[in-house]
A and B are shown apart, each in its own frame.
Chain A
Amino acid sequence: MNKSNTYIFIYSTVLVALVATLLALAANVLKPLQQKNLEIAKKLEILHSVNKGWDVSSADSKNAYVDGEYAKYITESLAVNYKGDTLKGIDAFTVDPNDEMDKDSTQRAYPIYICHLEDGSLNYIFPVLGKGLWGPIWGYVALKDDRNTIFGVFFDHQGETPGLGAEINTRWFQEPFSGKRIFNESGAFVSISIVKMNEPRDPEHTVDAISGGTITSKGLEKTIFDCMKNYLPFLSNSK
């Protein structure tokens, strides 16, 4: 079917305009739902770092459950700058560490979430973000009130190798982080080393890497180090 150039031109213009309208409409209608999903996913990750929110699969309404748990435990959130001073007028929850990375280090906002558990204990939760083998890895590190001992962690990834690097989002990998310290006896920042079989171990500062997931493990080690380093002024400020 050979048509004139004019016909082809009008045909493609109309088609593209129709499709664009349809997609723009769909994107607008679905946007609130999608954003709520992202918000719930983020809240759940924060809760997981303090070992909460694991009953989510048995909850009747996932959104209501997560919102409820979050409001119950995460009592406060703040954002600090590179000097550890609290930034005013910023809703820490809406700060996206990914966007902050693009800014100059002196301009960044570093979010901190404060969690009160049932027993009255206080935890500070810090987001971490970095690179694995195939793509981004991220998570949350919760420190106890001493701003040194790890209470719990949660990590996730976009596309690490299933069964190997992807295991960083499993409980068995994350649980050994609890009780480790990010400062040594003399008060220097040493972070947590994720070590292979033949590397030296230290009960206070090392956890086991994943066999076959070395690059992801080392990437996570660097992620934790780099991100926690940014919070050093805050961590030492009120010691």
Chain B
Amino acid sequence: MNQIFSSKNLKLLTNPLNLENPITVQVLGICSALAVTVKMKPAFVMAVSVTIVTAFSNLIIALLRKSIPMRIRIIVQLVVIAALVILVDQILKAFVFDVSKQLSVFVGLIITNCIIMGRLEAFAMANKPWDSFVDGIGNGLGYGWILIVISFIRELLGSGTVWNYPVMEKLGLYSGGYVNNGLMIAPPMALILVGVIIWIQRSRSKSLIEKK
């Protein structure tokens, strides 16, 4: 068991959450971070979907890595990712139809999410299956927690709800003249929030700041 979660593996899991975060440090996967974070529920499903796809495509590519011909490796990676994404999409359509309707094209667009391709090229092609799987989970979660935080703020301030629970109404703020901020629902607010998270992160971890 100590083999399975060695300190190296633990790092693979925790580094993407902060110092190697795909969104705030590597600035990948921004497009979907803007698109699906209006409400928490779709953002959560998206985070889970991306984590699953990243983890399993990493695993599969790591298993195949010695047999994949170098010249067509990108195509092989794409086939694996696309197959997994279509599977996830089909499963969402069958079991959580409402959420799949809200996510609409963005599930399919996981295929083009740079995080996944990036991890396959940078990690899975050169590492063992289990390490790659953990790396995939870590990067999926690193992407996911940013999505959850952004969608929490956007849903609370933009729609006055948390996971569709009417918080602001229960607090009685509307009768006191409180109004939802429509700007929060618009896509640019997601970018600004990502910017704020990057700002906080860099002020806490000076090592992230580029040297001139």
Taking the closest CB of chain A, its distance from the CB of B160, in whole angstroms, is 12
Number of A-B contacts (CB under 8 A): 66
**For B70, what are the chain A residues with a Cβ–Cβ distance below 8 Å?**
1-3
Bound-complex Cα distance A40 to B93 (A): 13
Q: Produce 1/0 per residue, B72-87, CB < 8 A to A.
A: 1001100110010011
For B39, the closest partner residue in chain A by CB is A162
**For A87, what are the chain B residues with a Cβ–Cβ distance below 8 Å?**
none
- B13, CB-defined interface residue at 8 Å: no
Q: Say whether A33 contacts B87, CB under 8 Å.
A: no
Interface of chain B residues 78 through 128 with chain A (CB within 8 A): 79-80, 83, 86-87, 90-91, 93-95, 97, 101, 104
Q: Say whether A16 contacts B79, CB under 8 Å.
A: yes
Bound-complex Cα distance A26 to B86 (A): 9
Q: Say whether B38 contacts A162, CB under 8 Å.
A: yes
Q: Say whether B185 contacts A162, CB under 8 Å.
A: yes
Bound-complex Cα distance A163 to B97 (A): 22
- A19, CB-defined interface residue at 8 Å: yes
- A41, CB-defined interface residue at 8 Å: yes
Q: Say whether A23 contacts B86, CB under 8 Å.
A: yes
**For B182, what are the chain A residues with a Cβ–Cβ distance below 8 Å?**
163-164
**For B80, what are the chain A residues with a Cβ–Cβ distance below 8 Å?**
19
Q: Say whether B95 contacts A19, CB under 8 Å.
A: no
Taking the closest CB of chain B, its distance from the CB of A107, in whole angstroms, is 30
For B180, the closest partner residue in chain A by CB is A163
For B93, the closest partner residue in chain A by CB is A34
Taking the closest CB of chain B, its distance from the CB of A53, in whole angstroms, is 14
Taking the closest CB of chain B, its distance from the CB of A108, in whole angstroms, is 26
- A12, CB-defined interface residue at 8 Å: yes
Q: Say whether A23 contacts B83, CB under 8 Å.
A: yes
Chain A residues within 8 Å of chain B by Cβ, number: 27
Taking the closest CB of chain B, its distance from the CB of A13, in whole angstroms, is 11
**For B72, what are the chain A residues with a Cβ–Cβ distance below 8 Å?**
8, 11-12
- B3, CB-defined interface residue at 8 Å: no
Bound-complex Cα distance A164 to B185 (A): 10
Bound-complex Cα distance A35 to B140 (A): 30
- A22, CB-defined interface residue at 8 Å: yes
Interface of chain B residues 124 through 153 with chain A (CB within 8 A): none
Interface of chain B residues 55 through 71 with chain A (CB within 8 A): 66-71
Q: Say whether A1 contacts B76, CB under 8 Å.
A: no
Q: Say whether A15 contacts B79, CB under 8 Å.
A: yes
- A236, CB-defined interface residue at 8 Å: no
- A105, CB-defined interface residue at 8 Å: no
- A7, CB-defined interface residue at 8 Å: yes
Bound-complex Cα distance A22 to B79 (A): 12
Q: Say whether B97 contacts A1, CB under 8 Å.
A: no
- A27, CB-defined interface residue at 8 Å: yes
Interface core residue of B90, B91, B182, B185 (most chain A CB under 10 Å): B90
Partner of B158, one of A3, A15, A38, A163: A163
Known pairs A1-B69, A15-B76; A41 contacts B87 (CB<8 A): no
Taking the closest CB of chain A, its distance from the CB of B53, in whole angstroms, is 14
Q: Say whether A11 contacts B67, CB under 8 Å.
A: yes
Taking the closest CB of chain B, its distance from the CB of A6, in whole angstroms, is 11
**For B68, what are the chain A residues with a Cβ–Cβ distance below 8 Å?**
1, 11
**For A16, what are the chain B residues with a Cβ–Cβ distance below 8 Å?**
79
Pairs across A and B, CB under 8 Å, 27 listed: A1-B66, A1-B68, A1-B69, A2-B70, A2-B71, A3-B69, A11-B69, A11-B76, A12-B72, A15-B76, A15-B79, A19-B83, A23-B83, A26-B87, A26-B91, A30-B93, A30-B94, A33-B94, A34-B90, A34-B94, A37-B94, A41-B97, A158-B104, A161-B186, A162-B185, A162-B186, A163-B182
Task: List A residues at the B interface (Cβ < 8 Å).
Answer: 1-3, 7-8, 11-12, 15-16, 19, 22-23, 26-27, 30, 33-34, 37-38, 40-41, 158-159, 161-164
**In the A-B complex, the 4 residue pairs with the closest CB atoms:** A37-B97, A33-B94, A163-B185, A30-B94
